[in-house]
Chain A
Amino acid sequence: MTKLNSKIPAGELETKWTKYKSTVPLVNPANKRSIEIIVVGSGLAGASAAASLAELGYKVKCYCFQDSPRRAHSIAAQGGINAAKNYQNDGDSVYRLFYDTVKGGDYRAREGNVYRLAEVSANIIDQCVAQGVPFAREYGGYLSNRSFGGTQVQRTFYAAGQTGQQLLLGAYSALERQVGIGTVTMYSRHEMLDIVLIDGKARGIIARDLVTGKLERHFGHAVLLCTGGYGNVFYLSTNAMGSNVTAAWKAHRKGAFFGNPCFTQIHPTCIPVSGDHQSKLTLMSESLRNDGRIWVPKKKDDNRKPVDIPEEERDYYLERRYPAFGNLVPRDVASRAAKERCDAGYGVGTSKMAVYLDFTFNTMRYGRIEANKLGIQNPSEAEIKKLGKEVVKEKYGNLFEMYEKITGENPYETPMRIYPAVHYTMGGLWVDYELMTTVPGLYALGEANFSDHGANRLGASALMQGLADGYFVIPYTIGAYLSGDIRTKSIPTDHPAFVDAEKKVQEQLDKLMNIKGMKSVDHFHKKLGKIMWDKCGMGRNEKGLTEAISEIRALREEFWKDVRIPGTQNEMNLELEKAGRVADFIELGELMCMDALNRKESCGGHFREESQTEEGEAKRDDDKFSYVSAWEYKGIGSFEMHKEELVFDVVHPSQRSYK
């Protein structure tokens, strides 16, 4: 237990970060020029970190598996980014954002980290606007805000339903600017396959050039993993097809502890699964819950068209159960409520595993406001609807179009059908206040780390954390480590540690290629996904988790005996790439189930069926589980848990209530 030191600075919560920044050791500009930093991943965290560190003068190498850093999956975030600007004069503050985030995370995050996140949130908006990110604006030219689940203030900045895209392109432009200057070397279509340790410190990576298939050795004084989350362990998720855990898992196998692996977020508003062919799930931004009302019929198996079901025969179950927050309850609460209704037989659509998200009420409300603005006396229903549709279109046009493309249904005319889907992983590599893992010199940023969201992340906070880590945290905290490393010269990559690491990666690739089994990689991935979704998904219990662990172990055996990878190693081989990722997902899946089994309480996105209140709400157990579980790798299928006790000096954990 002595191994974990979160390094939270002493002192009052409000002064921790300020004091830290003023006293952290610095690296002088001349020394920065001879220090090399490896950044793996080019999403919001990776691109912002690579750009900011290069601006400071470090020599940066950045890697992504896609054909361009601009493709990283941060690009798909829709709804927005939170910041404690209080531009709406509605009582927001750094403290409130901090408080909402700790509460939203169900009191399983560190106060110190979250407060810092809330503090730098305002700087992020300033930085992005200065880069030319075209946020939505009001007619007066000032920035527009909207509200998001789990909060009662309007603090979310957005760019239609493409906020992630615009923020990522901002960070990408900053990154490409440094590439142009020559301070960042970009390695696209490269995948990190191992960390190289020298004297216990991270000193480089082994990467595979995905075009030629060749392995490469790269040195860095420090290595930053900005490689996103592991939602694809469920096979179906809202993650991009290529999103994977491999970089984080390789780091874990080299000594980086994995924090809270079972904390996954199931997002309430996704397009339901349509069939076995489904390759991924598509999110419909949570911002839609601002203007859409969620309901199911009051009658079981009601096969009428939604428009034919009269108002009094509809059950607006979120408004009924949670009158204070209504449709804006946090994601975990909304997801479970949808599951509860569908499991009870009130689901809609052909699969009966969906609920309605209906925009009629607010379309008409907006229409009446517009009619008033235009001075139209006694407008007809049709006129109101037309005006209202325009407003809805401006806010969510791209989402409505996307829904129609995928389902073939027009959501302006009929309610959307939605169902929860895996979306985000709060768990990740354990890091201290400086974002360093348990391996010296190895950092994890953004979704890849476990740090700021506890057991559940609030909407519009992922973008905030990714950019906070990259733009405003790591440029300071990395100095604490590198200032002690200024005398370390670049280590040539013929060092035995590099040779050995490359050899091991090569052996693993050979092993995969030589199985020459009968089943495709996807076959195994789908099987893993089903086990995880059924037994480690929205509801978890001891029996299911125990079964899942043995099923995953059997699947692992089968994978290593029977996977078939066509083609050869020394060329672009997409099946080989996938196989390596799925092999790591299988190992991770087992750890997730072990973590879920260990955590006998319900908290945030982790719902243990054995731990609920009489009303079916999640029940935490602060006496026994107010800690971060940090797992140490001890060999395949063998992990040891360490605890980081959580201390709450400012916020007093209470049972979350959104009623």
Chain B
Amino acid sequence: MSEKKLNLTLKVWRQKNAKEAGNFITYKVTDISTDMSFLEMFDVLNEQLINKGEEPIAFDHDCREGICGMCSMYINGRAHGPAQGTTTCQLHMRKFKDGDTITVEPWRASSFPVIKDLVVDRSAFDHIISAGGFVSVNTGNAQDANNLPVPKNDADNAFAAAACIGCGACVAACKNSSAMLFVSAKVSQLALLPQGQIERETRVLNMVKTMDDEGFGSCTNTGACEAECPKEISVENIARLNREYLMANLK
């Protein structure tokens, strides 16, 4: 892959803290290699700012290999930017053209308040998991792992749902800031496996209740969440969640 250099204009959301109002600030970056990741381009910009004595832009990131779910930029109106099935850290500059103007915002959702610049608070997701996203098995309780065969198809589907990285792109992409894709992924994973059966009903009821309490919006089946999910979690999980929820309420 031949490397090229780009000159870009960036419009980045700057916000001092949760209380103060934010605004867009325009920056120029030059000589950006197409082999860089989007976050490496931000590293270059931040180095420039530091050298000028300005405050660098705060953004969340950690593993930089698309699995921890910490990076969270809203790039040109899309969660994690233009590439399909890709987190911001795995988005590379070869997806952009010389002279492009790129707008970068934090996730926008009332349940994810901005902490600083592009950093938001996603602890609502942890609260949802602590309400029921688990199997209640204490350490030491387990039987031999092969005592309970699981059909490969179920295991594969559970894995596909469990691949969710909890980044919150689904919420950011949804016009109602709904967390249904996130919640449905965990509900599906455990509903598909025999280990999850005993708490199947309480799980879905408690997780949905917490989701509502945290202020996430309703799902209107537009599918924006699936389209923007970096792990391409399917909206079929939302259908399963609705079914699980209905069945649990009928009991």
Q: A71–B47 contact, CB under 8 A?
A: no
Q: Does B139 contact A (CB under 8 A)?
A: yes
Lowest 9 A-B CB distances belong to which pairs? A141-B149, A408-B1, A180-B130, A130-B142, A173-B134, A126-B142, A134-B159, A176-B130, A129-B145
Q: Give the docked Cα–Cα distance between A123 and B145 (Å).
A: 9
Q: Does B62 contact A (CB under 8 A)?
A: yes
* Complex interface: chain A residues within 8 A of B175 (CB): none
Q: Does A651 contact B (CB under 8 A)?
A: no
Which of B37, B47, B60, B195 touches A130 (beta carbons < 8 Å)? B195
Q: Give the docked Cα–Cα distance between A33 and B60 (Å).
A: 36
Q: Give the docked Cα–Cα distance between A139 and B152 (Å).
A: 5
Q: Does A107 contact B (CB under 8 A)?
A: no
Q: Does B36 contact A (CB under 8 A)?
A: yes
Which of A134, A280, A283, A575 touches B193 (beta carbons < 8 Å)? A134
Q: Does A471 contact B (CB under 8 A)?
A: yes
Indicate whether A70 sits within 8 Å of B143 (C-beta atoms), given known contacts A130-B135, A134-B159.
no
Q: B163–A131 contact, CB under 8 A?
A: no
Which of A75, A134, A186 touches B126 (beta carbons < 8 Å)? A186
Q: Does B39 contact A (CB under 8 A)?
A: yes
Q: B63–A73 contact, CB under 8 A?
A: yes
CB proximity to A under 8 Å, residues B91-120: 92, 94, 115-116, 119
Q: Does A20 contact B (CB under 8 A)?
A: no
Further contacts, 10 of them, CB under 8 A, given A55-B138, A129-B195 = A75-B67, A130-B135, A130-B141, A137-B156, A142-B149, A176-B126, A274-B33, A277-B40, A279-B43, A564-B50
Indicate whether A278 sits within 8 Å of B119 (C-beta atoms), given known contacts A173-B135, A241-B64, A575-B56.
no
Which of A55, A137, A572 touches B116 (beta carbons < 8 Å)? A572
Q: A173–B126 contact, CB under 8 A?
A: no
Q: A173–B67 contact, CB under 8 A?
A: no
- Chain B, Cβ-Cβ closest to A144: B152
Q: A277–B133 contact, CB under 8 A?
A: no
A residues sitting closer than 8 Å to B (CB atoms) are 48, 51-52, 55, 66-73, 75-76, 85, 87, 123, 125-132, 134-143, 159-160, 162, 164-166, 169, 172-174, 176-177, 179-180, 186, 188, 211, 238, 240-242, 274-275, 277-280, 282-283, 401-402, 405-409, 471-472, 475, 520, 522, 564, 566-567, 571-572, 574-575
* Complex interface: chain A residues within 8 A of B190 (CB): 132
Q: A131–B135 contact, CB under 8 A?
A: yes
Q: Give the docked Cα–Cα distance between A127 and B129 (Å).
A: 19
Q: Give the docked Cα–Cα distance between A87 and B149 (Å).
A: 13
Q: Does B155 contact A (CB under 8 A)?
A: yes
Indicate whether A126 sits within 8 Å of B55 (C-beta atoms), given known contacts A76-B68, A277-B33, A572-B119.
no
Q: Does B131 contact A (CB under 8 A)?
A: yes
Q: B195–A520 contact, CB under 8 A?
A: no
Q: A132–B193 contact, CB under 8 A?
A: yes
Q: Does B221 contact A (CB under 8 A)?
A: no
* Complex interface: chain B residues within 8 A of A123 (CB): 140, 142
* Complex interface: chain B residues within 8 A of A70 (CB): 68-69, 126, 129, 166
Which of A143, A406, A571 touches B92 (beta carbons < 8 Å)? A406
* Complex interface: chain A residues within 8 A of B16 (CB): 571
Q: A567–B55 contact, CB under 8 A?
A: yes
Q: Give the docked Cα–Cα distance between A166 and B137 (Å).
A: 16
Indicate whether A173 sits within 8 Å of B133 (C-beta atoms), given known contacts A130-B195, A162-B67, A279-B43.
yes
Q: Give the docked Cα–Cα distance between A280 and B149 (Å).
A: 40
Q: B92–A405 contact, CB under 8 A?
A: yes
Q: A166–B159 contact, CB under 8 A?
A: yes
* Complex interface: chain B residues within 8 A of A159 (CB): 159, 162
Q: B70–A143 contact, CB under 8 A?
A: no
Q: Give the docked Cα–Cα distance between A244 and B150 (Å).
A: 39
Q: Give the docked Cα–Cα distance between A274 and B56 (Å).
A: 25
* Complex interface: chain A residues within 8 A of B242 (CB): none
- Chain B, Cβ-Cβ closest to A180: B130
A502 CB to nearest B CB, Å:
23
Name 25 interchain pairs, CB-CB below 8 A, sorted by A.
A52-B139, A67-B122, A70-B166, A127-B139, A127-B141, A129-B142, A132-B193, A134-B156, A138-B152, A140-B149, A166-B162, A174-B137, A177-B134, A240-B68, A274-B33, A274-B35, A275-B33, A277-B40, A279-B39, A520-B47, A520-B51, A566-B55, A571-B16, A571-B116, A572-B116
Indicate whether A277 sits within 8 Å of B115 (C-beta atoms), given known contacts A132-B190, A174-B134.
no
* Complex interface: chain B residues within 8 A of A55 (CB): 138-139
Q: A68–B122 contact, CB under 8 A?
A: yes
B residues sitting closer than 8 Å to A (CB atoms) are 1, 3, 16-17, 33, 35-37, 39-40, 43-44, 47, 49-51, 53-56, 58, 60-70, 83, 85-86, 90, 92, 94, 115-116, 119, 121-123, 125-126, 129-146, 148-152, 155-156, 158-159, 162-163, 165-166, 189-190, 193, 195-196
A579 CB to nearest B CB, Å:
11
Q: Give the docked Cα–Cα distance between A245 and B143 (Å).
A: 37
Q: B55–A169 contact, CB under 8 A?
A: no
Indicate whether A278 sits within 8 Å of B58 (C-beta atoms), given known contacts A132-B189, A137-B152, A160-B159.
no
* Complex interface: chain B residues within 8 A of A67 (CB): 60, 70, 119, 121-123
* Complex interface: chain A residues within 8 A of B137 (CB): 127, 130-131, 174
Q: Give the docked Cα–Cα distance between A141 and B163 (Å).
A: 20
B18 CB to nearest A CB, Å:
9
* Complex interface: chain A residues within 8 A of B165 (CB): 165
* Complex interface: chain B residues within 8 A of A283 (CB): 65
* Complex interface: chain A residues within 8 A of B55 (CB): 566-567
Q: Give the docked Cα–Cα distance between A242 and B3 (Å).
A: 28
Q: Give the docked Cα–Cα distance between A240 and B3 (Å).
A: 25
- Chain B, Cβ-Cβ closest to A280: B64
A159 CB to nearest B CB, Å:
6
Which of A141, A173, A242 touches B129 (beta carbons < 8 Å)? A173
- Chain B, Cβ-Cβ closest to A140: B149
Q: B135–A132 contact, CB under 8 A?
A: yes
Q: B143–A402 contact, CB under 8 A?
A: no
Q: Give the docked Cα–Cα distance between A275 and B119 (Å).
A: 28
B41 CB to nearest A CB, Å:
8
Q: A176–B133 contact, CB under 8 A?
A: yes
- Chain A, Cβ-Cβ closest to B148: A129
Q: Give the docked Cα–Cα distance between A565 and B86 (Å).
A: 32
Q: A242–B86 contact, CB under 8 A?
A: no
Q: A162–B163 contact, CB under 8 A?
A: yes
* Complex interface: chain A residues within 8 A of B47 (CB): 520, 522
